[in-house]
Chain A
Amino acid sequence: MNIYAQEKKLLDAVAANDRAVIESIYRENFPPIQAFVLKNNGFADDAKDIFQEAMIVLFEKAKLDSFVLTCQIKTYLYSVSRRLWLKKLQRENRHYPGIEMLLETVPVEDEIEVHEKNNADLTIMEKALLKIGEPCKSILEAFYIQKKSMPEIAETFGYTNADNAKTQKYKCLGRLKKTFFLQYKNGE
Protein backbone atom coordinates (compact mmCIF):
# COMPACT_ATOMS: atom_id res chain seq x y z
CA MET A 1 0.00 0.00 0.00
CA ASN A 2 2.74 2.40 1.02
CA ILE A 3 4.89 1.79 -2.00
CA TYR A 4 1.95 2.22 -4.33
CA ALA A 5 0.93 5.48 -2.69
CA GLN A 6 4.44 6.78 -3.30
CA GLU A 7 4.43 5.62 -6.88
CA LYS A 8 1.03 7.19 -7.43
CA LYS A 9 2.49 10.50 -6.36
CA LEU A 10 5.28 10.12 -8.90
CA LEU A 11 2.73 9.32 -11.60
CA ASP A 12 0.73 12.44 -10.81
CA ALA A 13 3.95 14.41 -11.23
CA VAL A 14 4.54 12.73 -14.60
CA ALA A 15 1.01 13.65 -15.68
CA ALA A 16 1.78 17.25 -14.71
CA ASN A 17 4.97 17.20 -16.82
CA ASP A 18 7.23 17.70 -13.79
CA ARG A 19 10.77 17.78 -15.18
CA ALA A 20 12.61 16.77 -12.02
CA VAL A 21 10.48 13.67 -11.48
CA ILE A 22 10.63 12.64 -15.14
CA GLU A 23 14.40 12.98 -15.04
CA SER A 24 14.72 10.80 -11.96
CA ILE A 25 12.51 8.14 -13.55
CA TYR A 26 14.67 8.38 -16.66
CA ARG A 27 17.90 7.91 -14.72
CA GLU A 28 16.61 4.96 -12.77
CA ASN A 29 14.85 3.01 -15.48
CA PHE A 30 16.74 3.58 -18.68
CA PRO A 31 19.77 1.30 -18.02
CA PRO A 32 17.97 -2.07 -17.77
CA ILE A 33 15.87 -1.26 -20.84
CA GLN A 34 18.92 -0.22 -22.81
CA ALA A 35 20.59 -3.47 -21.81
CA PHE A 36 17.57 -5.46 -22.97
CA VAL A 37 17.42 -3.75 -26.38
CA LEU A 38 21.18 -3.99 -26.94
CA LYS A 39 21.19 -7.70 -26.11
CA ASN A 40 18.29 -8.32 -28.44
CA ASN A 41 19.63 -7.13 -31.77
CA GLY A 42 19.24 -3.39 -31.18
CA PHE A 43 21.42 -0.27 -31.13
CA ALA A 44 21.74 2.49 -28.55
CA ASP A 45 19.49 4.74 -30.64
CA ASP A 46 16.78 2.07 -30.73
CA ALA A 47 16.92 1.87 -26.94
CA LYS A 48 16.42 5.61 -26.65
CA ASP A 49 13.44 5.62 -29.00
CA ILE A 50 11.80 2.64 -27.30
CA PHE A 51 12.27 4.13 -23.86
CA GLN A 52 10.78 7.46 -24.91
CA GLU A 53 7.77 5.72 -26.34
CA ALA A 54 7.31 3.72 -23.15
CA MET A 55 7.49 6.99 -21.19
CA ILE A 56 4.70 8.30 -23.39
CA VAL A 57 2.58 5.22 -22.72
CA LEU A 58 3.14 5.83 -19.02
CA PHE A 59 2.16 9.47 -19.44
CA GLU A 60 -1.05 8.62 -21.29
CA LYS A 61 -1.94 6.18 -18.60
CA ALA A 62 -1.14 8.58 -15.77
CA LYS A 63 -3.45 11.12 -17.41
CA LEU A 64 -6.47 8.80 -17.20
CA ASP A 65 -8.68 9.29 -14.15
CA SER A 66 -9.57 5.63 -14.20
CA PHE A 67 -5.95 4.54 -13.91
CA VAL A 68 -5.13 2.18 -11.04
CA LEU A 69 -1.54 1.22 -10.50
CA THR A 70 -1.15 -2.54 -10.13
CA CYS A 71 2.63 -2.78 -10.22
CA GLN A 72 5.71 -0.64 -9.73
CA ILE A 73 6.59 1.98 -12.33
CA LYS A 74 9.83 0.12 -12.92
CA THR A 75 8.04 -3.10 -13.81
CA TYR A 76 5.52 -1.25 -15.93
CA LEU A 77 8.11 0.64 -17.97
CA TYR A 78 10.18 -2.48 -18.50
CA SER A 79 7.16 -4.51 -19.61
CA VAL A 80 6.00 -1.86 -22.05
CA SER A 81 9.48 -1.32 -23.50
CA ARG A 82 10.01 -5.05 -23.91
CA ARG A 83 6.69 -5.47 -25.69
CA LEU A 84 7.33 -2.44 -27.94
CA TRP A 85 10.75 -3.73 -28.90
CA LEU A 86 9.50 -7.23 -29.71
CA LYS A 87 6.75 -5.70 -31.83
CA LYS A 88 9.26 -3.60 -33.70
CA LEU A 89 11.54 -6.58 -34.38
CA GLN A 90 8.58 -8.55 -35.64
CA ARG A 91 7.30 -5.71 -37.83
CA GLU A 92 10.71 -5.28 -39.45
CA ASN A 93 11.23 -8.99 -39.78
CA ARG A 94 14.40 -8.92 -37.71
CA HIS A 95 15.90 -11.74 -35.73
CA TYR A 96 14.90 -11.98 -32.06
CA PRO A 97 17.57 -13.75 -30.00
CA GLY A 98 15.15 -14.10 -27.07
CA ILE A 99 17.47 -12.98 -24.31
CA GLU A 100 15.60 -12.16 -21.11
CA MET A 101 16.76 -9.97 -18.24
CA LEU A 102 15.19 -11.89 -15.35
CA LEU A 103 13.01 -8.93 -14.43
CA GLU A 104 9.37 -9.17 -13.54
CA THR A 105 6.90 -8.33 -16.31
CA VAL A 106 3.16 -7.69 -16.42
CA PRO A 107 0.83 -8.05 -19.42
CA VAL A 108 0.55 -4.74 -21.29
CA GLU A 109 -0.95 -5.75 -24.66
CA ASP A 110 -4.14 -3.74 -24.12
CA GLU A 111 -2.30 -0.63 -23.06
CA ILE A 112 -0.17 -0.70 -26.15
CA GLU A 113 -3.25 -1.08 -28.30
CA VAL A 114 -4.75 2.01 -26.66
CA HIS A 115 -1.47 3.83 -27.21
CA GLU A 116 -1.51 2.94 -30.90
CA LYS A 117 -5.06 4.21 -31.22
CA ASN A 118 -4.00 7.46 -29.53
CA ASN A 119 -1.12 7.78 -31.94
CA ALA A 120 -3.46 7.29 -34.87
CA ASP A 121 -5.83 9.98 -33.57
CA LEU A 122 -2.93 12.34 -33.12
CA THR A 123 -1.80 11.75 -36.67
CA ILE A 124 -5.30 12.57 -37.93
CA MET A 125 -5.21 15.84 -36.02
CA GLU A 126 -1.75 16.70 -37.29
CA LYS A 127 -2.78 15.98 -40.86
CA ALA A 128 -5.92 18.06 -40.45
CA LEU A 129 -3.82 20.96 -39.14
CA LEU A 130 -1.56 20.73 -42.17
CA LYS A 131 -4.54 20.62 -44.49
CA ILE A 132 -6.17 23.85 -43.30
CA GLY A 133 -3.01 25.80 -44.14
CA GLU A 134 -1.64 29.10 -42.89
CA PRO A 135 -2.34 31.34 -41.03
CA CYS A 136 -5.04 29.09 -39.54
CA LYS A 137 -2.54 26.41 -38.51
CA SER A 138 -0.28 28.84 -36.65
CA ILE A 139 -3.13 30.69 -34.96
CA LEU A 140 -4.74 27.49 -33.68
CA GLU A 141 -1.40 26.06 -32.58
CA ALA A 142 -0.56 29.25 -30.74
CA PHE A 143 -3.85 29.19 -28.85
CA TYR A 144 -4.60 25.51 -28.27
CA ILE A 145 -1.15 23.92 -28.27
CA GLN A 146 1.19 26.60 -26.95
CA LYS A 147 -1.62 28.12 -24.84
CA LYS A 148 -0.85 31.72 -25.70
CA SER A 149 -3.36 34.42 -24.78
CA MET A 150 -5.64 36.04 -27.35
CA PRO A 151 -4.13 39.57 -27.10
CA GLU A 152 -0.67 38.07 -27.54
CA ILE A 153 -1.83 36.21 -30.65
CA ALA A 154 -3.51 39.33 -32.05
CA GLU A 155 -0.16 41.10 -31.80
CA THR A 156 1.97 38.35 -33.36
CA PHE A 157 -0.36 37.85 -36.28
CA GLY A 158 -1.08 41.52 -36.82
CA TYR A 159 -4.76 41.76 -35.91
CA THR A 160 -6.03 45.12 -34.76
CA ASN A 161 -7.53 43.69 -31.59
CA ALA A 162 -8.11 40.47 -29.69
CA ASP A 163 -11.74 40.26 -30.82
CA ASN A 164 -10.80 40.23 -34.49
CA ALA A 165 -8.26 37.52 -33.80
CA LYS A 166 -10.89 35.58 -31.92
CA THR A 167 -13.34 35.70 -34.83
CA GLN A 168 -10.59 34.44 -37.10
CA LYS A 169 -9.69 31.73 -34.60
CA TYR A 170 -13.23 30.36 -34.54
CA LYS A 171 -13.40 30.41 -38.33
CA CYS A 172 -10.22 28.37 -38.42
CA LEU A 173 -11.40 26.07 -35.65
CA GLY A 174 -14.57 25.35 -37.64
CA ARG A 175 -12.52 24.30 -40.63
CA LEU A 176 -10.16 22.18 -38.55
CA LYS A 177 -13.07 20.44 -36.87
CA LYS A 178 -14.69 19.62 -40.18
CA THR A 179 -11.47 18.20 -41.63
CA PHE A 180 -10.71 16.28 -38.44
CA PHE A 181 -14.11 14.60 -38.11
CA LEU A 182 -14.23 13.72 -41.77
CA GLN A 183 -11.02 11.73 -41.36
CA TYR A 184 -11.85 10.48 -37.90
CA LYS A 185 -15.19 9.01 -38.93
CA ASN A 186 -13.69 7.52 -42.05
CA GLY A 187 -11.08 5.82 -39.94
CA GLU A 188 -13.61 4.25 -37.58
Chain B
Amino acid sequence: MRNLLLAGVLLGAPALAHLSGIGLSPPHLFITLEPGESWQGSFTVYTQNGRGELHPSLTDWTLSPQGTLLLAPPGSLPYSAATWISLAENPFELLPSHPIRLELTIHVPPQTPTGDYWAAIALKTAPSPLPQGVGLRTSLEVLEIVYVRVGHPEAQAALTLERTSKGWLAVFANRGTQVLRLHPKLRFLNHQGILLKEVSLSEEVLLRGDALDLPLDGPFPKGSALLLIEAQAAGLRQPLVATLNLGP
Protein backbone atom coordinates (compact mmCIF):
# COMPACT_ATOMS: atom_id res chain seq x y z
CA MET B 1 0.00 0.00 0.00
CA ARG B 2 2.84 2.36 0.80
CA ASN B 3 4.22 1.80 -2.68
CA LEU B 4 0.86 2.49 -4.26
CA LEU B 5 0.51 5.74 -2.37
CA LEU B 6 3.99 6.80 -3.35
CA ALA B 7 3.32 5.95 -6.96
CA GLY B 8 0.17 8.05 -6.87
CA VAL B 9 2.05 11.06 -5.65
CA LEU B 10 4.84 10.61 -8.15
CA LEU B 11 2.38 10.37 -11.00
CA GLY B 12 0.76 13.61 -10.04
CA ALA B 13 -2.46 12.03 -8.78
CA PRO B 14 -4.53 14.12 -6.38
CA ALA B 15 -3.10 13.88 -2.90
CA LEU B 16 -5.10 11.69 -0.56
CA ALA B 17 -6.68 13.49 2.36
CA HIS B 18 -4.59 12.74 5.39
CA LEU B 19 -6.26 10.69 8.10
CA SER B 20 -7.68 13.18 10.57
CA GLY B 21 -10.33 11.19 12.38
CA ILE B 22 -10.22 7.86 14.17
CA GLY B 23 -12.97 5.95 15.93
CA LEU B 24 -12.66 3.13 18.44
CA SER B 25 -15.35 0.71 19.51
CA PRO B 26 -15.10 -0.08 22.33
CA PRO B 27 -12.44 2.38 23.52
CA HIS B 28 -11.23 0.01 26.20
CA LEU B 29 -11.35 -3.70 26.94
CA PHE B 30 -11.72 -5.26 30.35
CA ILE B 31 -10.84 -8.96 30.46
CA THR B 32 -10.99 -11.31 33.45
CA LEU B 33 -8.73 -14.37 33.42
CA GLU B 34 -7.09 -16.83 35.76
CA PRO B 35 -3.32 -17.43 35.68
CA GLY B 36 -2.39 -19.54 32.70
CA GLU B 37 -5.57 -18.73 30.75
CA SER B 38 -5.84 -17.04 27.35
CA TRP B 39 -8.38 -14.87 25.59
CA GLN B 40 -8.91 -13.95 21.97
CA GLY B 41 -10.95 -10.95 20.94
CA SER B 42 -10.95 -7.76 18.97
CA PHE B 43 -11.88 -4.13 18.77
CA THR B 44 -12.89 -2.01 15.82
CA VAL B 45 -11.18 0.99 14.28
CA TYR B 46 -12.92 3.22 11.77
CA THR B 47 -12.68 6.62 10.17
CA GLN B 48 -14.80 9.17 8.39
CA ASN B 49 -12.11 11.76 7.84
CA GLY B 50 -9.62 11.13 5.08
CA ARG B 51 -7.64 7.96 4.72
CA GLY B 52 -4.25 6.82 5.73
CA GLU B 53 -2.00 4.33 7.39
CA LEU B 54 -2.18 3.45 11.05
CA HIS B 55 0.75 1.95 12.89
CA PRO B 56 -0.25 -0.29 15.80
CA SER B 57 2.10 -0.91 18.70
CA LEU B 58 1.95 -1.95 22.32
CA THR B 59 2.68 0.54 25.05
CA ASP B 60 2.58 0.87 28.80
CA TRP B 61 0.77 3.81 30.32
CA THR B 62 0.06 5.35 33.65
CA LEU B 63 -1.45 8.51 35.08
CA SER B 64 0.29 11.19 37.08
CA PRO B 65 -1.31 12.32 40.38
CA GLN B 66 -2.64 15.27 38.37
CA GLY B 67 -4.20 12.93 35.84
CA THR B 68 -1.82 13.40 32.94
CA LEU B 69 -1.41 10.41 30.68
CA LEU B 70 2.16 9.10 30.62
CA LEU B 71 3.41 6.53 28.13
CA ALA B 72 6.31 4.14 28.57
CA PRO B 73 7.85 1.26 26.64
CA PRO B 74 5.90 -2.01 26.85
CA GLY B 75 6.73 -4.05 29.92
CA SER B 76 8.54 -1.21 31.69
CA LEU B 77 5.93 -0.16 34.25
CA PRO B 78 4.59 -2.04 37.29
CA TYR B 79 1.50 -4.18 36.62
CA SER B 80 2.09 -4.06 32.87
CA ALA B 81 0.09 -6.48 30.75
CA ALA B 82 1.87 -5.47 27.56
CA THR B 83 4.01 -8.58 27.37
CA TRP B 84 0.89 -10.76 27.62
CA ILE B 85 -0.69 -9.26 24.50
CA SER B 86 -0.08 -10.51 20.99
CA LEU B 87 -1.25 -8.63 17.94
CA ALA B 88 -0.10 -7.97 14.43
CA GLU B 89 1.89 -4.77 14.52
CA ASN B 90 1.94 -4.26 10.76
CA PRO B 91 0.74 -0.88 9.46
CA PHE B 92 -2.66 -0.96 7.82
CA GLU B 93 -4.72 1.46 5.78
CA LEU B 94 -7.93 2.92 7.13
CA LEU B 95 -10.62 4.06 4.69
CA PRO B 96 -13.94 5.80 5.31
CA SER B 97 -16.83 3.39 5.82
CA HIS B 98 -14.49 0.42 6.02
CA PRO B 99 -14.08 -0.43 9.68
CA ILE B 100 -11.22 -2.72 10.55
CA ARG B 101 -11.37 -5.25 13.32
CA LEU B 102 -8.07 -5.70 15.07
CA GLU B 103 -7.65 -9.03 16.76
CA LEU B 104 -5.52 -9.65 19.78
CA THR B 105 -4.66 -12.51 22.09
CA ILE B 106 -3.97 -12.17 25.79
CA HIS B 107 -2.17 -14.91 27.68
CA VAL B 108 -1.70 -14.59 31.43
CA PRO B 109 1.44 -16.41 32.55
CA PRO B 110 1.00 -19.12 35.17
CA GLN B 111 1.82 -18.04 38.71
CA THR B 112 0.75 -14.46 38.01
CA PRO B 113 -0.35 -12.91 41.33
CA THR B 114 -3.96 -11.85 41.71
CA GLY B 115 -4.62 -8.27 40.67
CA ASP B 116 -5.46 -5.87 37.88
CA TYR B 117 -2.94 -5.30 35.09
CA TRP B 118 -3.08 -3.02 32.07
CA ALA B 119 -1.47 -1.86 28.83
CA ALA B 120 -2.60 -0.19 25.63
CA ILE B 121 -2.49 -0.63 21.89
CA ALA B 122 -1.38 2.62 20.30
CA LEU B 123 -2.65 3.41 16.81
CA LYS B 124 -0.68 6.23 15.29
CA THR B 125 -0.81 7.98 11.95
CA ALA B 126 2.34 8.70 10.04
CA PRO B 127 3.38 12.34 10.43
CA SER B 128 2.11 14.71 7.78
CA PRO B 129 4.49 15.44 4.89
CA LEU B 130 7.76 17.18 5.64
CA PRO B 131 7.47 20.95 5.22
CA GLN B 132 10.04 23.04 3.42
CA GLY B 133 11.97 25.41 5.66
CA VAL B 134 10.96 25.67 9.31
CA GLY B 135 7.77 23.93 10.19
CA LEU B 136 5.84 21.39 12.17
CA ARG B 137 4.36 18.07 11.22
CA THR B 138 1.39 16.58 12.97
CA SER B 139 0.37 13.09 13.95
CA LEU B 140 -2.65 11.59 15.67
CA GLU B 141 -2.40 8.74 18.16
CA VAL B 142 -5.31 6.95 19.83
CA LEU B 143 -4.94 4.31 22.50
CA GLU B 144 -7.06 1.21 22.93
CA ILE B 145 -6.78 0.57 26.66
CA VAL B 146 -6.65 -3.06 27.78
CA TYR B 147 -7.27 -4.10 31.39
CA VAL B 148 -6.68 -7.68 32.52
CA ARG B 149 -8.09 -8.81 35.85
CA VAL B 150 -6.33 -11.87 37.21
CA GLY B 151 -8.23 -13.79 39.88
CA HIS B 152 -10.26 -11.86 42.41
CA PRO B 153 -8.30 -8.78 43.47
CA GLU B 154 -9.06 -6.69 46.50
CA ALA B 155 -10.45 -3.16 46.42
CA GLN B 156 -8.96 -0.93 49.07
CA ALA B 157 -8.32 2.81 49.14
CA ALA B 158 -7.78 5.75 51.45
CA LEU B 159 -8.71 9.41 51.34
CA THR B 160 -6.65 12.04 53.16
CA LEU B 161 -6.51 15.81 53.14
CA GLU B 162 -3.21 17.59 52.60
CA ARG B 163 -2.48 21.26 52.90
CA THR B 164 -0.12 22.69 50.31
CA SER B 165 1.09 26.18 49.53
CA LYS B 166 -1.70 26.43 46.99
CA GLY B 167 -4.46 25.19 49.28
CA TRP B 168 -6.02 21.91 50.27
CA LEU B 169 -5.79 18.69 48.34
CA ALA B 170 -7.95 15.61 48.67
CA VAL B 171 -5.58 12.73 48.02
CA PHE B 172 -7.05 9.38 47.01
CA ALA B 173 -4.63 6.46 47.36
CA ASN B 174 -5.21 3.01 45.93
CA ARG B 175 -3.98 0.47 48.46
CA GLY B 176 -5.53 -2.62 46.99
CA THR B 177 -4.88 -4.76 43.94
CA GLN B 178 -7.80 -3.52 41.85
CA VAL B 179 -7.99 -0.58 39.50
CA LEU B 180 -10.68 1.66 40.98
CA ARG B 181 -13.10 3.92 39.17
CA LEU B 182 -13.86 6.67 41.63
CA HIS B 183 -16.97 8.81 41.62
CA PRO B 184 -16.20 11.79 43.87
CA LYS B 185 -18.80 14.14 45.26
CA LEU B 186 -18.42 17.43 47.06
CA ARG B 187 -21.05 18.62 49.50
CA PHE B 188 -20.98 22.15 50.88
CA LEU B 189 -22.78 22.78 54.17
CA ASN B 190 -23.39 25.94 56.15
CA HIS B 191 -22.99 26.42 59.92
CA GLN B 192 -26.40 24.92 60.54
CA GLY B 193 -25.46 21.79 58.63
CA ILE B 194 -27.78 22.62 55.78
CA LEU B 195 -26.66 21.46 52.37
CA LEU B 196 -25.89 24.42 50.15
CA LYS B 197 -24.58 22.67 47.09
CA GLU B 198 -23.63 19.22 45.89
CA VAL B 199 -21.19 18.71 43.04
CA SER B 200 -20.68 15.35 41.36
CA LEU B 201 -17.27 15.19 39.77
CA SER B 202 -16.35 13.12 36.77
CA GLU B 203 -15.27 9.50 37.07
CA GLU B 204 -11.60 9.12 37.81
CA VAL B 205 -9.42 6.08 37.27
CA LEU B 206 -7.17 5.21 40.20
CA LEU B 207 -4.57 2.65 39.18
CA ARG B 208 -2.95 0.16 41.56
CA GLY B 209 -0.39 1.81 43.79
CA ASP B 210 -1.30 5.26 42.52
CA ALA B 211 -2.58 8.41 44.15
CA LEU B 212 -4.88 11.04 42.73
CA ASP B 213 -4.84 14.68 43.79
CA LEU B 214 -8.08 16.60 43.82
CA PRO B 215 -7.49 20.31 44.44
CA LEU B 216 -10.07 21.82 46.77
CA ASP B 217 -9.73 25.38 45.65
CA GLY B 218 -12.50 27.89 45.69
CA PRO B 219 -14.48 29.86 45.19
CA PHE B 220 -16.86 27.93 47.41
CA PRO B 221 -20.58 28.58 47.62
CA LYS B 222 -21.38 31.60 49.76
CA GLY B 223 -21.95 30.66 53.39
CA SER B 224 -20.04 27.39 53.20
CA ALA B 225 -18.65 26.24 56.53
CA LEU B 226 -18.00 22.59 55.89
CA LEU B 227 -16.96 20.59 52.85
CA LEU B 228 -17.69 16.89 52.77
CA ILE B 229 -15.69 14.89 50.25
CA GLU B 230 -17.04 11.49 49.39
CA ALA B 231 -16.02 8.99 46.75
CA GLN B 232 -17.49 5.65 45.83
CA ALA B 233 -16.02 2.92 43.68
CA ALA B 234 -17.19 -0.53 42.73
CA GLY B 235 -15.65 -3.07 45.05
CA LEU B 236 -15.11 -0.76 48.01
CA ARG B 237 -16.95 -1.89 51.12
CA GLN B 238 -17.80 1.67 52.04
CA PRO B 239 -17.35 5.11 50.49
CA LEU B 240 -14.23 7.16 51.15
CA VAL B 241 -15.10 10.18 53.25
CA ALA B 242 -13.25 13.25 54.51
CA THR B 243 -14.34 16.56 56.00
CA LEU B 244 -12.75 19.95 55.54
CA ASN B 245 -13.62 22.87 57.80
CA LEU B 246 -13.84 25.96 55.64
CA GLY B 247 -13.63 28.33 58.59
CA PRO B 248 -15.99 31.03 59.80
Tell me if chain B binds chain A: no
Contact residues of B with A, CB < 8 Å? none
